[in-house]
Amino acid sequence: MIIDIKYINLCEVKSELYLFSKTMHRRTFLALGVPAVTAWRRPSILYHDSVPSIKAILFDAFSIFDPSHIALMAGRLFPGKGPELIREWRTRQFEYAWLRSMTHCYVDFQTITSDALDYATQLLKMDISPRQHQQLVDGFFELSVWPEVPLVLGELTKEGYRLGILSNFTPEMLRVNTNGNRITGYFENLISVDSVKRYKPERKSSLIATRGSHSHFPYSHG
């Protein structure tokens, strides 16, 4: 069984992924670490009576990486307007991803991030220089990890879980951020939706890990 962690809200995908009856914030999961996974093996909190044991855990990038430094940068570049800019930028960023998936007009997440920033600054009537624009977009290549991440990844690895990231990030974003934080070795796979050109949470992107020619975690029962 593979579980995909964003807000620990799983969607059922045939017999491979099971929906938990409770939702848990990603930081709560990281704080609980191995005990959280062990607890979820108990059938009493699962919709299905009989489930294979958890073998692999897929994290969303934002479960691992803390983007707060981008908000701090926005505040320094645009005093008094940083929070509003970040709010509009983030909203458009994810709206654009969903719209691109729905209309089958895929561009990668770096392009979406740049386009969303353009829209947000225009909406807020903010003057932004090319250099400031690039600084903010580049912030997604300079992410730190949440404080508890290295310890929890180490614990999960010792317990024998196969770990990966399944993300809307581009492959380069994943590579640079995992390398920069020295956590690459914990992950068996860094999986970008680029390979299927559909953004999460669309079903096709959720199946990358276990299905078809792009499979990274071939699934087996037992």
Q: How far is CA 104 from CA 93, 96, 98, 198, in A?
A: 16, 12, 10, 8
pLDDT tens column, 10-55: 333 223 332 222 334 555 555 555 555 544 444 444 444 444 577 8
Q: Is the domain defined by 12-64+145-214 classed in CATH 3.40.50.620?
A: no
So where are the chain's domains?
12-64+145-214, 68-141
* Residue 200 pLDDT exceeds 90: no
Domain boundaries 68-141, corresponding CATH code: 1.10.150.240
Query: The pTM is what?
Result: 0.75
CA distance 134 to 131: 5
* Active-site position among 4, 49, 60, 66: 60
| DSSP 8-state secondary structure symbol assigned to residue 186 | G
**127 is annotated as an active-site residue:** no
What pLDDT is stored for residue 217 in this prediction? 52
Q: pLDDT value at position 204?
A: 73
Question: Are 190 and 178 in contact, with CB atoms under 8 Å apart?
Answer: yes
**pLDDT for 52:** 55
Q: What pLDDT does residue 27 have? A: 54
Residue-wise pLDDT for 75-112, tens only, equals 999 999 999 999 999 999 999 999 998 899 999 999 99
